[in-house]
Chain A
Amino acid sequence: MTLLEIFDPKAPPRPIGIDLGTTNSLVASVGSDRASVIEDCFGKTMVPSVVCYESDGTVIVGERAKELAAIRPSDTIVSVKRFMGRGADNEETRRMGPYRFVEPRDDEPNVVRFAVEGRPPVSPVEVSAEILRALKERAEDELRSVGGAVITVPAYFDDAQRQATKDAARLAGIEVLRLLNEPTAAALAYGLEHKKNGLFAVYDLGGGTFDVTVLLLDDGVFQVKATGGDSQLGGDDMDRAVAEIVLRKLGVSTEVSSRPEFIRALLDRSRSIKHGLTTAQAVDAEFALDTKQAQLRITRTEFEDAIRPLIDRTGVACRRALRDAGVKAEELDGVILVGGSTRVPAVREFVRAFFGREPLADIDPDQVVAIGAAIQADLLAGKGKDVLLLDVLPLSLGIEVGGGVVDKILPRNTSIPCGARATYTTQEDNQTGFQIHVVQGEREMAKDNRSLAHFTLKGIPPMPAGLARLEIELRVDADGLLGVSATEGTTGIAQAIDVKPSYGLDDAAVEQMLLDAFDHGEGDLLTRRLAEARVDAQRLVLATTKALMADADLLAPPESQRIEETLAHLKATISRNEPALITNAIDAVDGATRDFAGRRMNRAIAKALEGQTIDRVEKAVEHAKGIEAAHGSPLPPER
C-alpha cells in the first residue's frame, strides 16, 4: 500500500483481475508500470475463501472467518468453489465435511444449499458473492474507483460452473469483463514477463481443481491448443488423504469423527501437516480427543503414498492434453507451475519426470493467476492491442438423441467463441413439441455426462413423423458460456426456448437473490441499477461517437441521421434518475447501429486479410530460397 497518494476524483475506474480460488482468493490490478496483487492493511495478499454466517445475520469473510471455522464449523463455508454449479445430490456433498446440506424441494432449483445461522439456506453462488464483494472492497480501498473485472475460473470448469461464477459476480455488483481460464491467465503473466515465444504447458494444481493447458505463444497471441483436467481434484483431497491417515492412527470412534468441530479441526490440522511435509521428512502432531491427548507422527513417505493416486490422475489428464494438442512432452519449450499444491515435493518431482524438464515457478504460484487476470483486464480496457488470448472449449457439447446417446455438436478443444448447428426431426406423427437435453462431456451416453439444461420446444405444426426439421444451434461465447437457439425448418419459425438449467439458477432466481440481498440492507438496488445503466450509456456514447468518426463513409445520410438522433436522445437521458429510460435509449442506439456495426466488422476483416498480400510475397521469396522447401505446399493464387 502506498502511504500517500494523490487522489484524482476524475480518474477513470481501474479494471481489476480476480482469482476466485478454492482456498484463497486474490485481487490484482495493473499500476503505472506493472501488475501487482492488492494487499490489505496488514500486507496480506490472500483472502481466505471462507465465509462465516453469524446468527444476527452478519457475514464475515476471509482471515477472521477462517478463525471462526473451528468454533462454528457448520456455519462457516470453506472451499465453496467445489460446490459451484453442482447439484444437491453431487458426490462432493457426501465427502468428509462439517456442513448441513438442505435438500431442494421439487419446485426448487437443484443446487447445493447450506443451512446456516441467521438466514435462509445459502447457495454456493451467494457464498462466492460474499467473497467477491470482500475482494471488490479491498480493491476500492486501494484504487478508489474500480471498473470491470476479469474473474478466473479453472479451464476445466463446465458451463454450469462458469455460469454460477458469473451469477456470483452479478450478485456482488461486479461487471464481468471476461471469465478467464486460470492456466491461460498464468501463461499471460509469464509470457509478458519473459517475452518468450514457443509451446508451453501449464500445470495448475490448486486447492480444489486441476487443470493442464498446452498453449502456443506467438508474437503476443496466446493460443490454447488443448486443455484438460479435473474440476474436483486438488489440495483439499490431499488434506483428506492426510486426515484418513490420522484417523487410522488415532483409532477414534465414528461418534467422535462425525462431529463437525472434530472434522473441521482434523481437516485444518491435516492441512498444516501437509504444509509441514513440504520441507520436513516427518511431522509430529498432537490431537486433543475429549479428555486425553494423542501423539502421532506422519512421514513424507506415508503422505506421498496416500496422494499417489491423486498425482496419477493428473498424469492421465496431462497425457490426454498433449495428445489432443498433437504435441510430445519433449517438444515443449517450458512448463509453468501454478497453484499452491504444486509446492508439494512429490508433485514437483512428478512434473519434472513427466515433462522431462525443470518447471518454471519463478512467479509466485499463488499470485500468478491474479496477476494474469489483472493484465487481461487492463488489455480489455484498451491497453496494448498486440496481445490476444485464444482459448478453447474444455469439454464437448452435445445433444441427447434416441436411446440416450449423445450427438456431439462441438468437440472439446474447439476454439471459442464457437458455434455449430445440428438438425433433428420428429419421432412420431403429429408431434408438436420437442424435448431437448444439452449435455457436456466426453462419454457416449448422455447419463454419463454433465447435464446442462433441458429445453422444451412447442408449437410445431402437426405433420407426419420425420418431416419437421428442427435446427438447433449451440453457441459458446468468449467466456465459455453456452447459448442455445432453435428454428423449425418447414415453417421457418424461430422458437422461443424455455430454459431450465439442470444444476443452476435461472435468471429469475438470481434476480430474486439480488432483491433479497438488498432487503437485507445492502443499500439501494435502484441506485445500483442506475449506476450500471449510466456506465453502459457513457461507454456506448463514447464508442458510437468514435465509430462515426472512423467510418462515416459507410453510412448513407438518413441512417447517419437516425444514429445521431438516438445518440442525442441517449445523452439526454443519462442524467435522468430512471434506469429503464436509459436502457431503452441504449436499445434504440443499438437498433440504429446494427447494420453499421456489421459493415464496420466487414471492413475490419478486409483489412486483416489485406495484410496477407505482403506476407505472401515474402513467403514466395522464402520458398524460392528453399527455406521452406521441405514443407512443399503450393501457394494460393493471387486474388
Chain B
Amino acid sequence: MNPFEVLGLAPVFAIDLKELEKRHRDLSRALHPDRFIGAGASERRASLNKAVEANEAWRVLRDSVSRAEALFRLAGVAVGERDEPMASPAFLMEVMEWREGLAEARAVRDVAAVMKLSGEVSARAMGSEEVLASTFGPKKPGSHELKLAQVQLGELRFYRRFLEEVSAIEEAWQDELPR
C-alpha cells in the first residue's frame, strides 16, 4: 500500500497537514500495540505491522521531499538522484554562491548574513513546493509536467540540506554562547 492509501488520503502534494495529523492519530488509537497487550500473539503481530505501516506513511507524508518522492513513485517515475535529470549549470552556480556565502558568514560569525541566506533559500523552497503542488494536484500529471517537477524535487532536496546546515550552524553557535 502506498502511504496515501494507508492514511486514506487523496494522492496530492498539497495535503492538509492538520488532516494528516488527525488521521495518524485516529489510526494510532485503533492500531497501537498498547491496545493489544492482552491479545494473542497473532493479533499483537498484526497490530505491530499495521502500526509500523501507519507511522511510516505518516513520516513520509509529513515531509515535503519524501511526499513528492512518493508521488513520483506512484506516477511510475523512478526516484533517487541517480535516476533524475542533472541540475542545470545556472542552478549549480547559484548553489556555489550560496555555499560560499554561508561558509563566509560562518567564519566571521555574521548572524544577519546567515539569516538572510536562509530566508532566500526558504523562499526558493516554497517556490519549488508550489510547482510540485500544481503538478500533483487532483488531475493526473503528463510526462512533460513530471519532467519539470523532477527538477524542482532535485532543487528542493538541495534547499532542504542547505537549511539543515543553517540549523546546525545556529545550534553550534547557541551551544557555544556563554550564559
- Residues of A with C-beta under 8 A to B41: 540, 586, 590
> Is B34's CB under 8 angstroms from A636's CB?
no
CA of A416 to CA of B58, assembled, Å: 12
Give the Cβ gap from B65 to chain A, nearest Cβ, in Å.
13
CA of A597 to CA of B12, assembled, Å: 32
> Is B38's CB under 8 angstroms from A381's CB?
yes
Choose one: A177, A417, A639; the contact of B52 (CB below 8 Å): A417
CA of A478 to CA of B22, assembled, Å: 20
Choose one: B16, B30, B138, B175; the contact of A605 (CB below 8 Å): B30
> Is B56's CB under 8 angstroms from A319's CB?
no
Q: B15 on the interface (CB 8 Å rule)?
A: yes
Mark interface residues in B8-45 (1 if CB within 8 Å of A CB, else 0).
Answer: 11101011111100110111111111110111111101
- Residues of B with C-beta under 8 A to A381: 37-38
Q: A596 on the interface (CB 8 Å rule)?
A: yes
Nearest CB in chain B to that of A220: its residue: B29
Q: A607 on the interface (CB 8 Å rule)?
A: yes
> Is B52's CB under 8 angstroms from A475's CB?
yes
Choose one: B26, B56, B179; the contact of A609 (CB below 8 Å): B26
> Is B33's CB under 8 angstroms from A417's CB?
yes
> Is A604's CB under 8 angstroms from B138's CB?
no
Q: B59 on the interface (CB 8 Å rule)?
A: yes
- Given A609-B8, A636-B15, also A177-B37 (CB < 8 A): yes
- Residues of A with C-beta under 8 A to B9: 636
> Is B48's CB under 8 angstroms from A388's CB?
no
> Is A316's CB under 8 angstroms from B175's CB?
yes
CA of A312 to CA of B174, assembled, Å: 11
Choose one: B10, B40, B52; the contact of A543 (CB below 8 Å): B40
> Is B171's CB under 8 angstroms from A388's CB?
no
> Is B12's CB under 8 angstroms from A634's CB?
yes
CA of A177 to CA of B37, assembled, Å: 7
Choose one: B22, B47, B167, B179; the contact of A312 (CB below 8 Å): B179
- Given A415-B58, A417-B51, A608-B30, also A319-B39 (CB < 8 A): no
- Residues of B with C-beta under 8 A to A33: none
Q: A429 on the interface (CB 8 Å rule)?
A: no
CA of A637 to CA of B8, assembled, Å: 11
Give the Cβ gap from A551 to chain B, nearest Cβ, in Å.
11
Mark interface residues in A523-540 (1 if CB within 8 Å of B CB, else 0).
Answer: 000000000000000011
CA of A177 to CA of B35, assembled, Å: 11
CA of A72 to CA of B59, assembled, Å: 52
- Residues of A with C-beta under 8 A to B175: 315-316, 319
Which listed segment binds B: A96-104, A258-266, A297-305, A611-619?
A: A611-619
Q: How many residues of B contact A (CB 8 A)?
A: 49
Mark interface residues in A585-622 (1 if CB within 8 Å of B CB, else 0).
Answer: 01001110110111011001101110110011001000
Q: A282 on the interface (CB 8 Å rule)?
A: no
Choose one: A320, A388, A612, A635; the contact of B8 (CB below 8 Å): A612
- Given A178-B34, A605-B27, A605-B30, also A593-B19 (CB < 8 A): no
- Residues of B with C-beta under 8 A to A177: 37
CA of A615 to CA of B31, assembled, Å: 20
Choose one: A390, A540, A615; the contact of B40 (CB below 8 Å): A540
> Is A547's CB under 8 angstroms from B43's CB?
yes
CA of A539 to CA of B42, assembled, Å: 13
Nearest CB in chain A to that of B50: its residue: A601
Give the Cβ gap from A325 to chain B, nearest Cβ, in Å.
13
Choose one: A478, A586, A598, A616; the contact of B33 (CB below 8 Å): A478
CA of A540 to CA of B18, assembled, Å: 38
Q: B46 on the interface (CB 8 Å rule)?
A: yes
Q: B55 on the interface (CB 8 Å rule)?
A: yes
- Residues of B with C-beta under 8 A to A596: 42
- Given A218-B25, A605-B31, also A619-B38 (CB < 8 A): no
- Residues of A with C-beta under 8 A to B30: 604-605, 607-608
Q: A122 on the interface (CB 8 Å rule)?
A: no
Nearest CB in chain B to that of A610: its residue: B8
Choose one: A414, A597, A609; the contact of B55 (CB below 8 Å): A414
Choose one: B7, B16, B171; the contact of A319 (CB below 8 Å): B171
Choose one: A218, A320, A419, A607; the contact of B56 (CB below 8 Å): A419
- Residues of A with C-beta under 8 A to B58: 415
> Is B167's CB under 8 angstroms from A323's CB?
yes
Nearest CB in chain A to that of B28: its residue: A390
Q: A544 on the interface (CB 8 Å rule)?
A: yes
> Is B8's CB under 8 angstroms from A593's CB?
no
Q: A382 on the interface (CB 8 Å rule)?
A: yes
Mark interface residues in A475-508 (1 if CB within 8 Å of B CB, else 0).
Answer: 1011000000000000000000000000000000
- Residues of A with C-beta under 8 A to B46: 597-598, 600-601
> Is B38's CB under 8 angstroms from A543's CB?
yes
- Residues of B with C-beta under 8 A to A517: none
Give the Cβ gap from B34 to chain A, nearest Cβ, in Å.
6
Mark interface residues in A620-639 (1 if CB within 8 Å of B CB, else 0).
Answer: 00000000000101111101
> Is B37's CB under 8 angstroms from A319's CB?
no
CA of A540 to CA of B40, assembled, Å: 5
- Given A381-B38, A418-B52, A639-B8, also A477-B33 (CB < 8 A): yes
Nearest CB in chain B to that of A547: its residue: B43
CA of A389 to CA of B34, assembled, Å: 8
Q: A467 on the interface (CB 8 Å rule)?
A: no
> Is A380's CB under 8 angstroms from B31's CB?
no
Nearest CB in chain B to that of A221: its residue: B25
Give the Cβ gap from B66 to chain A, nearest Cβ, in Å.
11
Q: A379 on the interface (CB 8 Å rule)?
A: yes
Q: A420 on the interface (CB 8 Å rule)?
A: yes
- Given A320-B171, A593-B40, A600-B46, also A390-B8 (CB < 8 A): no
Give the Cβ gap from A597 to chain B, nearest Cβ, in Å.
4
CA of A605 to CA of B54, assembled, Å: 10
> Is A223's CB under 8 angstroms from B25's CB?
yes
- Given A415-B59, A417-B51, A636-B15, also A593-B31 (CB < 8 A): no
Nearest CB in chain B to that of A611: its residue: B26
> Is B34's CB under 8 angstroms from A478's CB?
yes
> Is A418's CB under 8 angstroms from B45's CB?
no
Query: Which residue among B27, B38, B48, B50 has the maximum number of chain A CB atoms within 10 Å of its CB?
Result: B38
CA of A475 to CA of B31, assembled, Å: 17
The 5 A-B residue pairs with the shortest CB-CB distance, nearest first, are A608-B30, A597-B42, A609-B8, A636-B10, A633-B16
Q: A417-B51, A542-B38 are known contacts; what are 11 more A-B pairs with Cβ within 8 Å?
A: A148-B37, A388-B28, A416-B55, A589-B40, A604-B30, A609-B27, A612-B23, A616-B19, A631-B16, A633-B16, A634-B14
Please give the residue numbers on chain A whose beta carbons come within 8 Å of chain B beta carbons, in ascending order: 148, 177-178, 218, 221, 223, 312, 315-316, 319-320, 323, 379-382, 385, 388-390, 414-420, 475, 477-478, 539-540, 542-544, 547, 586, 589-591, 593-594, 596-598, 600-601, 604-605, 607-609, 611-612, 615-616, 619, 631, 633-637, 639
* 23 A-B pairs (CB sep. < 8 Å): A178-B34, A218-B25, A221-B28, A315-B179, A319-B175, A385-B35, A388-B34, A414-B59, A418-B55, A475-B52, A539-B38, A543-B43, A544-B40, A547-B39, A597-B40, A601-B50, A604-B30, A605-B27, A609-B7, A612-B19, A612-B23, A636-B15, A636-B19
